[in-house]
Homo-oligomer: A and B are copies of this chain.
């Protein structure tokens, strides 16, 4: 049996009892560690499970999936995924491969940023499609996310922006030369995300985003005891910078259908409550009590 187990968001205690039981039954335990990260080191998981945990990087999952699945018809193998197995990044490839090999599989769900983002006070059913924002480079600034944000904005929906992480990436030079030397991990900050959003707006100029009149909510380390939620204009969040602390960061762009109850709940996190209210009322047309 292949168990694909969601670990939740923060640390080893976010696993479900069902997930922990599955791991205990397994002969081998892999941890997917290139699309998201837990906020604790692998050793902490190993101590908690009482088992070795094999870190599976992108290479291994994409090119050696048969090694991961080896013998899984007879023994149990666990593939651990931060968040939910069908969260922001899905692992249907591995499940399809197991299916092709006749290996039974079971998915054990958990919280992911896709639903835990609701902690900011915006209703999940008011979110449109989620978008991913990758690190811009000097000559690669992909902006197709802008069209998605515009689609959501035109409908008044909120947008969850998933911020890039780079784990075990090679520099262009090392990649070209086939050297398996890896860069230090990088996690996009809310400040950088806002800069990239506003840069893209300056290029595309379709009035989707405004530094001073678009409301947004930044969240860091969602689900952990060090969770931070901060609300404000894009410019305010950019300036706030260090307030969010270490990774992971997530960002929500607030849509115009903002409901008064959502605005009221999120006001608690506002950098400037008066500015938050003013924009919610004057720009978003939200009817708030005085």
Contact = CB atoms under 8 A, between A and B. Distances in A.
- Interface magnitude class on chain A: 35 or more
A156 to B, nearest CB: 10
A84 B115 contact: yes
Contacts of A119: 86, 107, 109
A109 B116 CA distance: 6
Interface stretch (A7-15, A37-45, A62-70, A173-181): A7-15
Nearest to A130: B125
Copies of the chain in the assembly: 2
A156 B86 CA distance: 20
A218 interface: no
A125 B131 contact: yes
Contacts of A9: 109
B111 A110 contact: yes
A88 B124 CA distance: 7
Interface in A77-136: 84-88, 90, 92, 95-96, 99, 107, 109-112, 114-119, 121, 123-132
Contacts of A12: 17
Contact of A118 (B86, B116, B121): B86
A204 B201 CA distance: 37
28 contacts: A8-B16, A8-B110, A9-B109, A12-B17, A13-B17, A13-B21, A14-B16, A84-B116, A84-B118, A86-B116, A86-B119, A86-B124, A88-B124, A92-B261, A96-B265, A107-B119, A109-B111, A109-B115, A109-B116, A109-B222, A111-B111, A111-B112, A111-B115, A112-B115, A114-B114, A124-B130, A125-B131, A126-B129
